[in-house]
Amino acid sequence: MAGAARAQQPSAQQPSNDDTTEVIVTGRLLVVEKADRLSYAVERETKGVVVDILRTVPSVTVAPDGIVALRGVAATILIDGKVPPEGNAAVRALAAADVLRIEVLTAPSAQYGSQGGVINIITRKRRKVGGDLNLEGNARNQGSIGLSGVMTQGGWTYQGRAFLDHYQNRSTLLQHQELPDGAGGYWVSDRVDRTRYSSDNATASLSAEYALSEQAEIAVKGEYGNFASASDALAQSRGADVFNEVSSIKTGNRDSRLEAVYALSGEGRQLRLAYDHTREVRNFTASYERDIGGGYTTTTGRDTAGDRFEGDYERRFGNQLLTAGFSWERSDSRIRNSYVNRGAQMGVDDFDSVFEGAETLTSSYLTWQNPAGKWTFLPGVRIEHQQLDLPVGRQLDFADVLPSLHADRTLGGNGRLRLSVLRRVDRPLLRDYDETPRYIGAKQIVAGNPGLEPQVTDAFEARYSFDAKSFSASATVYYRETRGDFSPYTEVLSNGLLMTTTINSGFSRSGGAEVTLRGTIGERITYSINSNLFYAEVPFEGEGGGGAVLRGRTNGSGNALAEYRAGNGDRYQLNVTGYSRTPTFQGYSEASYRADITYSRPVNDRLSLVVSLNDVFDTSGYASVIDTSALRLTTQTRPNSRALKISLAWKLGRGL
């Protein structure tokens, strides 16, 4: 992605002992370093959407199925410190030009204690009158248009963003299944799915800020998003089962948020109070027809409303910094699932069920940043209480105390050492407790798990960084232990269907090292290389139902970025990202990598052109293997993602 996560010429700035909240790390990548995070600045001219930038950020990988991970573990995406209504899918809807910086927290402090790895996307706060217009299209009839603007009037500042996206693609899924036949052999079946998929996404936001004084302001923001998709597929099953199944699937999602904020700053203090209301509506309808006769239809509708009130306070006492905050949030969800059989041999009765539940999460945190000689210490603690109100009067309560400690110091003129130890908790979503089966075609269903519990992780991290004028490097060693590890689990039901759910598989642990190199070669070449190598032991389903045992394997992930800047302003960029085979509770997921080539050219002061060849070698596939005594299942997904993309960006008005 041309211009992503980069900066102006580097400097060798280092912190003094009286100001340690952030550090400018050298290299052509502009990196703002805090005690618990690294922040990568994003140039105003960056084109595309946020997911394009994330593929260039060290420690971050984006899987072919869209999952964003930090060091191989799924990350939580925040936008301006909040989970967006559409979840991690927001990275495909937010224009890159609207992003100021990306904060990467591999070891979050107590302020973010309820998440694992965190990626916080900070959007631009614009004040000049003007706007941006971005157009994209590729050879696969995929395209998007993004428009953002700002205007001021007296003490008011108004900002608006709109994004429209059309996506279509074809993909192939290959599946090989082996089931014991009870006589020492296996029933073997193969399945091939060929799918045509299209979607349309529209999001818009409008905010108004009013300056009450030089130190106080109020803001109101509204967001709305609408997503619709349709897919048609042909699944051919051969072997133990012989039939063709035609499917037609439609989804419709609506998200809305209304937020009100009061902010006060001055004299070393900052106070922020916010309230927001969100609503998410999800509708899913799938119809299946078989050539051997019969068919079935499955529908799911989910309506979730949430309210959140939070406050954050920050005060400086000389060289010391106190931060504290609280939040109270409640969400109510209603899920309706139905299944109607039209003569297919499924072994399942028709049903129409409703799941209703509520979640209340109360939390508070406190951190204290305190310099002591050459060291800066940031201890913190977060306290959370979660209450789940589930159907038939069932109630679950979970209380957690989550301590953290970060220590930071300079070493010599260009070195820096950071140590972190923390505990964090990851909680299932409310819908994960709904055990109603949802059919996804070709004898496969997914379901929630009413017995699911949060997973708790203890983590340690040590990072050394070296920063010079045109070169910077960092090396990190880390270790983490997780109790109640979330794992997908697939089993064969008595009616022959394959059901996949999420379970707490037990105890897992991993440790490894990550190396990042950034810098310039001469005046025109910029590079960034990130490599993560770690050893992980995860629970593995024992043979013959003997229980889970730990199984270890060396894994890796990383990305590399190289860019050449010509004298006329043209840029040529190559970006490669990938990850290795990873063990799972019942088998493993295969390795994958992707390469992108980008060319950008400033046409004039207001118009720029970007041409990209995405997934150059057409390698963005995904494969998983289940290999147990009760089931052998290999699944491969091959999206047709190689495409030539053209982007145009205009600056409107006086620019931003």
Domains in the chain: boundaries: 23-262+271-282+389-426+436-653
Q: If pLDDT is split at 50, 70 and 90, which confidence band does 562 have?
A: very high
According to the model, what pLDDT value does residue 10 have? 28
According to the model, what pLDDT value does residue 35 have? 66
Over the stretch 616-638, which tens digit does the pLDDT of each residue have? 998 888 888 988 877 888 988 88
According to the model, what pLDDT value does residue 63 have? 63
According to the model, what pLDDT value does residue 92 have? 66
User: Diameter of the chain by CA atoms?
Assistant: 83
Averaged over 342-353, what is the pLDDT? Answer: 84
Tell me the C-alpha distance between 79 and 88, whole Å.
10
* Fold (topology level) of 23-262+271-282+389-426+436-653: Maltoporin; Chain A (2.40.170)
3-state secondary structure string across 396-455: EEEEEEEEEEEEEEEECCCEEEEEEEEEEEECCCHHHHCCCCEEEECCEEECCCCCCCCE
According to the model, what pLDDT value does residue 11 have? 29
Higher pLDDT, 67 or 642: 642
Averaged over 80-104, what is the pLDDT? Answer: 74
According to the model, what pLDDT value does residue 100 have? 84
3-state secondary structure string across 61-108: EECCCCCEEECCEECEEEECCECCCCHHHHHHCCEHHHEEEEEEECCC
Cα Rg for the chain, rounded, in angstroms? 25
Q: If pLDDT is split at 50, 70 and 90, which confidence band does 403 have?
A: very high
Averaged over 576-600, what is the pLDDT? Answer: 88
| % of the chain residues with pLDDT over 90 | 34
- Cβ-contact 391, 436 below 8 angstroms: no
According to the model, what pLDDT value does residue 544 have? 52
* Of 90-99, 265-274, 504-513, minimum mean pLDDT range: 90-99
Q: Which residues pair with 461 in a beta bridge?
A: 420, 478
Averaged over 35-39, what is the pLDDT? Answer: 74
Averaged over 307-324, what is the pLDDT? Answer: 92
202 has a pLDDT exceeding 70 = yes
Averaged over 242-250, what is the pLDDT? Answer: 90
Q: If pLDDT is split at 50, 70 and 90, which confidence band does 399 have?
A: very high
Q: If pLDDT is split at 50, 70 and 90, which confidence band does 19 have?
A: very low
Which of 141-150, 178-187, 401-410 has the largest mean confidence? 401-410
547 has a pLDDT exceeding 70 = no
Cα dihedral value 50, 51, 53, 59, nearest 10: 130
State phi, psi for 563 to the nearest 5 degrees.
-140, 140
Q: If pLDDT is split at 50, 70 and 90, which confidence band does 18 have?
A: very low
Q: If pLDDT is split at 50, 70 and 90, which confidence band does 604 have?
A: confident
506 has a pLDDT exceeding 90 = no
Q: Scan for tokens 């205007």, then name that residue.
A: 151
According to the model, what pLDDT value does residue 322 have? 93
Over the stretch 278-303, which tens digit does the pLDDT of each residue have? 999 999 999 999 888 888 899 999 99
* Of 357-371, 475-489, 580-594, minimum mean pLDDT range: 580-594
